[in-house]
Amino acid sequence: MSVFGIDRPSLRGKRESMIQTEGLRRPKFERTIDMNIIVSGSLAYDRIMDFPEYFSEHILPDKIHVLNVCFQVNGVKEKFGGTAGNIAYALALMGETPRISSSIGHDYHRYFDWLAKNGISTKDIKIIEDELTAGAYITTDRADNQITGFNPGAMKYSSSLDFDKLTPEETLVIVSPGNLEDMVNYPRLCKKREIDYIFDPGQSLPMLKAKDVVQAIEGCRILISNDYELDLIINKTGLNKKALLARAEAIIVTMGESGSLVSTRDGEILIPAETPKKVEDPTGAGDSYRGGLISGLVTGKDLEQCARMGSVCASFAVECYGTQEYRFSREEFNERFNG
Q: What is the pLDDT of residue 61?
A: 87
Give 110-119 pLDDT, tens digit per residue: 999 999 999 9
Amino acid at position 132, single letter = L
* Closest residue by Cα to residue 71 from 134, 152, 137: 137
Res. 12 pLDDT band, cuts 50 70 90: very low
Q: What is the pLDDT of residue 4?
A: 45
- What is the rounded distance in angstroms from the CA atom of residue 174 to the CA atom of residue 101? 10
* pLDDT at position 207 over 70: yes
Average pLDDT over residues 216-242: 97
Average pLDDT over every residue of 130-152: 92
Q: In one letter, which amino acid is 73?
A: V
What pLDDT sits at residue 105? 98
pLDDT digits (tens, 9 = 90+) for 296-325: 999 999 999 999 999 999 999 999 988 999
So what's the architecture of 17-42+82-133+156-338 in CATH? 3-Layer(aba) Sandwich (3.40)
Confidence of residue 24 (pLDDT cuts 50, 70, 90): very low
Instruction: Find how far residue 179's CA is from the centre of its chain.
Output: 14
- Note the pTM of the prediction, 2 decimals: 0.88
> Tell me, what's the pLDDT at 283?
85
Q: Is the pLDDT of residue 19 over 80?
A: no
Q: How far apart are CA 303 and CA 93, in angstroms?
A: 20
Confidence of residue 339 (pLDDT cuts 50, 70, 90): confident
Residue 178: C-alpha distances to residues 16, 269, 277, 323 (Å): 28, 30, 31, 16
Domain residues of the chain, as ranges? Answer: 17-42+82-133+156-338
3-state secondary structure labels for all residues of the chain: CCCCCCCCCCECCCCCEEEEECCEEEEECCEEECCEEEEECCCEEEEEEECCCCHHHCCCHHHHHHCCCCCCCCCEEEEEECHHHHHHHHHHHCCCCCEEEEEEECCCHHHHHHHHHCCCECCCEEEECCCCCEEEEEEECCCCCEEEEEECHHHHCCCCCCHHHCCHHHEEEEECCCCHHHHHHHHHHHHHCCCEEEECCHHHHHHCCHHHHHHHHCCCCEEEEEHHHHHHHHHHHCCCHHHHHCCCCEEEEECHHHCEEEEECCEEEEECCCCCCCCCCCCCHHHHHHHHHHHHHHCCCCHHHHHHHHHHHHHHHCCCCCCCCCCCCHHHHHHHHHC
